[in-house]
Amino acid sequence: MTDTLRVGFVTCSDRAYNGEYEDQGGPALVEWFENALTSPWTYQDRLVPDERDTIAATIRELTDDEECHLVLTTGGTGPAPRDVTPEATRDVADKILPGFGERMRQISLQYVPTAILSRQIGATRGRSLIINLPGKPKAIAETLDELFVVVPATIELLEGPRVETDPEVVEAFHPH
């Protein structure tokens, strides 16, 4: 077992994928992790269109082939017809962890009333944790600042590495 956390970042966006605008979700995740983690980590990022099968295949690749301990998606969690990230996640999930979605909506409701429209979920596939995050950089940071407290413990329960954080950003909970 390695002590380096392997993370997959998946931006789900038709417009970013088609080059209509620059992906902001992936870079926001990298920046947050660079500031928050003090233990070793590596990442792979993917930019995919809002296609259920493509998102599911990308999550499977990152969990099964690349053996990422953590896969974070951004975008595609709203009520619009092309928002299919939670469905794609469910397609590949072994277990749904409802508390992640509940907590993310609680966090986001502090900032915007439209958070009630979010369909974000958390799930596992094998020994990987998958979390659907919002797509906007500000919302990604707001969510991770509060949600990430439980992510290291979850990764450890899935037999992944111990993840240490900078308590100035987020203090990881490690049960005894």
- Tell me the domains of the chain and their CATH numbers: 5-157 (3.40.980.10)
Distances in Å between the alpha carbon of 102 and those of 51, 117, 122?
24, 12, 9
Q: What is the three-state SS of the chain?
A: CCCCEEEEEEEECHHHHCCCCCCCHHHHHHHHHHHHECCCEEEEEEEECCCHHHHHHHHHHHHHHCCCCEEEEECCCCCCCCCCHHHHHHHHCCEECHHHHHHHHHHHHCCCHHHHHCCCCEEEECCEEEEEECCCHHHHHHHHHHHHHHHHHHHHHCCCCCCCECCCCCCCCCCC
* Cα 88 off chain centre by: 13
Instruction: Give the pLDDT confidence score for residue 2 in this predicted structure.
Output: 65
Instruction: Give the pLDDT confidence score for residue 145 in this predicted structure.
Output: 97
Judge contact between 173 and 167, C-beta under 8 A.
no
Instruction: Give the pLDDT confidence score for residue 37 in this predicted structure.
Output: 98
Q: Which residues of the chain have pLDDT under 50?
A: 1
Query: Which is nearest to 128 in space by CA: 80, 78, 176, 73?
Result: 73
Rounded CA-CA distance 116/100 in Å is 14
User: Strands 128-133, 122-125: parallel, antiparallel or unpaired by DSSP?
Assistant: antiparallel
Instruction: Give the pLDDT confidence score for residue 38 in this predicted structure.
Output: 97
The whole model's pTM is what?
Answer: 0.97
Instruction: Give the pLDDT confidence score for residue 175 in this predicted structure.
Output: 83
Rounded CA-CA distance 30/79 in Å is 27
